[in-house]
């Protein structure tokens, strides 16, 4: 279960504090999936970072499976994120010097239960249609292929929470739809909690829960 309660976020700026989020609440349980839309600069990525244990809120509380990540020491927090959370970043963040297979295996390097990781990595890469690209470097992949590697990497540790920041941004319509299909399929199969930030109304429409972030507030879309 993910609970985001009354979260606020301010960034300091030379002209005084910049309020990006104010009193944002969101709760998801196992199997839930939500889309978050909103204008550029509204704070969508910031909210995902806060949900993912990557950026402490200025006020409010985040708990995932009963633990507040921001109360953990740095080392425990890193382990918690690694074990519980899969993140697909807006710019996918693949390591350029590593192969496709190595990129997917990165989250398992710090885990102690990773004996079957190479097998699972190959299985996931097969599921995302990249079984014949294992040895490619990111520079040798198309945009959609990179997004699919990022998806496989986010799922390798069977996260409870999968956070995707515009997973189909920068893709043509057909590739975006393929990545979205995969995302929905993998989410349904693994019963994770899923939050997707997107500018695509078509992608958002596929989610049972839809929110809009605007003026630092999160509201049901269309409300
Ligand atoms: N580290 C930071 N320090 C100061 N201001 C920041 C920082 N990160 C983000 N901001 C500001 O916070 C606001 C929200 O940024 P955020 O990246 O969350 O927007 P977004 O909704 O994801 O936008 P986009 O759709 O363009 O990705 C922006 O105005 C941005 O300039
Ligand atoms: Mg963003």
Question: Is the residue at 107 inside a domain?
Answer: yes
Range(s) of the domain holding residue 104: 29-53+73-220
Two structure tokens written together for 75: 């080392």
pLDDT at 222 over 80: no
For residue 68, tell me if it sits in a domain: no
Q: What is the mean pLDDT of residues 122-151?
A: 93
Q: Which of 22, 45, 163, 217 to mutate to test the pocket of ligand 1 (most atoms within 8 A of CB)?
A: 45
| Residue closest to 195 by CA, chosen among 24, 10, 11, 22 | 24
111 pLDDT more than 90: no
Q: Which mutation among 37, 44, 166, 203 tests ligand 1's pocket best, with the greatest number of atoms within 8 A of CB?
A: 44
pLDDT tens digits for range 139-160? 999 988 999 999 999 999 989 9
> Would you say residue 11 lies in a domain?
no
Does pLDDT of 103 surpass 90? Answer: yes
Let me know if residue 20 belongs to a domain: no
Spacing, Cα 161 to ligand 1 middle (Å)? 22
Chain centroid to Cα 167, Å, comes to: 8
In 3D space, the residue among 39, 80, 72 whose CA is nearest the CA of residue 56 turns out to be 72
Q: State the Cα–Cα distance between residues 11 and 3, nearest whole angstrom.
A: 22
Q: Is 42 close to ligand 1, i.e. is its CB under 6 Å away?
A: yes
Ligand 1 site, residue 11, Cβ cutoff 6 A:
yes
Confidence band of 217 (pLDDT split at 50, 70, 90): very high
Read off the DSSP letter of residue 110. Answer: T
How far apart, in whole angstroms, are the C-alpha atoms of residue 80 and residue 86? 11
Q: How many domains does the chain have?
A: 1
Work out the average pLDDT over 31-46: 96
Q: How far is the CA of 90 from the centre of ligand 2 (A)?
A: 6
Query: Within a domain: residue 15?
Result: no
Rounded distance between C-alpha atoms, residue 146 and residue 103, angstroms: 10
The answer to whether residue 65 is domain-embedded is no
59-101 tens-digit pLDDT: 999 999 999 999 999 999 999 999 999 999 877 789 999 999 9
Check whether 207 has a pLDDT greater than 90.
Answer: yes
The predicted model scores a pTM of: 0.94
């Amino acid at each position: 279960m993910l609970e985001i309660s009354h979260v606020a976020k301010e960034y300091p700026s030379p002209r005084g504090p910049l309020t990006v989020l104010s009193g944002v609440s969101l709760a998801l349980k196992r199997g839930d999936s939500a889309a978050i839309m909103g204008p550029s600069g509204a704070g969508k990525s910031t909210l995902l970072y806060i949900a993912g244990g990557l950026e402490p809120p200025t006020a409010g509380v985040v708990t995932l499976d009963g633990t507040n990540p921001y109360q953990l020491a740095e080392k425990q927090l890193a382990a918690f994120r690694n074990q519980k959370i899969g993140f697909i970043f807006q710019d996918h963040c693949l390591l350029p010097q590593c192969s496709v297979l190595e990129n997917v295996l990165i989250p398992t390097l710090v885990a102690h239960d990773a004996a079957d990781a190479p097998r699972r990595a190959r299985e996931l890469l097969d599921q995302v249609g990249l079984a014949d690209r294992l040895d490619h470097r990111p520079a040798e992949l198309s945009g959609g292929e990179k997004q699919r590697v990022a998806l496989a990497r986010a799922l390798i540790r069977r996260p409870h929470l999968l956070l995707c920041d515009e997973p189909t941004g920068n893709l043509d319509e057909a590739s975006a739809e393929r990545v979205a299909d995969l995302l929905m399929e993998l989410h349904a199969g693994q019963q994770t909690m899923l939050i997707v930030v997107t500018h695509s109304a078509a992608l958002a429409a596929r989610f049972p829960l839809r929110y809009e972030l605007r003026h630092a507030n999160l509201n049901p879309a269309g409300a």
